[in-house]
Chain A
Amino acid sequence: EVQLVESGGGLVQPGGSLRLSCAVSGFTISNLWMSWVRQAPGKGLEWVANIKPDGSEKYYMDSVKGRFTVSRDNAKNSVFLQMNGLRVEDAAVYYCARSDWPHDYWGQGTLVTVSS
């Protein structure tokens, strides 16, 4: 059974940091691009970041460049999102995803709340 399980979300003050983790089971990520997508409460979807299988290429949406870092540990079948300098507008459910069509698997998400 395919599972992507995100963790690491929580309440953080503006300017703070969080590190999200995504533990994958049911398939091996080592040859796959992996992604993070977010959704603010009651809002639409935003594609946050992509990372190449070997980690050599990373892409970020403009508003998180320089603040967020995506990484992976293929040996542990896991993907990470380091979020620094968090802003109120970063508050969202963050989903980890494998999205190489037609294969498309998402976790259930982890909630990040940014508030003082």
Chain B
Amino acid sequence: EIVLTQSPATLSLSPGERATLSCRASQSVSTSLAWFQQKPGQAPRLLIYYASNRPTGIPARFSGSGSGTDFTLTIRSLEPEDFAVYYCHQRSSWPYTFGQGTKLELK
């Protein structure tokens, strides 16, 4: 099973700041990695797929990079609605797995 390790566990920032979230895989997942955002009481929302692609409707301030084992989600200038939990997710091989999450909280 591919283990995804996210860091940091919690990130405290203010609106307007830049957020950088990391995800490391225990073995290569190529670019079969996605990032999800989840707010309390809601289903996860796909932000980035295949490491660096944004679905239609996702704001351009969200960007993803990386390949192999090291990945980054960057939020260029935080908006109030961006404070949530973020999960990375791999589907390079079964079982699909998620990271443990990074909580982005208001400083």
Rounded to whole angstroms, the CA-CA distance of A99 and B94 in the bound complex is: 14
Contact A108–B98 (Cβ < 8 Å): no
Cα-based distance from A45 to B87 in the complex (angstroms)? 8
* B interface secondary structure, majority: loop
Check A46–B55 contact: CB distance below 8 A: no
| Binding site secondary structure of chain A | strand
Closest to A35 in B: B96
A50 neighbours in B (Cβ, 8 Å): 94, 96
User: What range describes how many residues of B lie at the interface?
Assistant: 20 to 34
Closest residue of B by beta carbon distance from A93: B43
Proximity string of chain B (31-48) to chain A, C-beta cutoff 8 Å, 1 when within and 0 when not: 000101010001110100
Range class of the A interface residue count:
10 to 19
Closest beta carbon of chain A to B95's beta carbon, Å? 5
With the chains together, A61 CA to B97 CA distance in Å? 9
For residue B53, which residue of chain A has the nearest CB?
Answer: A102
The complex places the Cα of A56 from the Cα of B41 at a distance, in Å, of: 34
Partner of A95 from B43, B56, B87, B94 at Cβ < 8 Å = B43
Chain B positions within 8 Å of A9 at CB level: none
Question: Using a CB–CB distance below 8 Å, which chain A residues touch chain B?
Answer: 37, 44-47, 50, 59-62, 95, 99, 101-102, 104, 106-109
Q: List 8 A-B contacts (CB under 8 A).
A: A44-B101, A60-B95, A95-B44, A101-B34, A101-B55, A102-B49, A102-B56, A108-B42
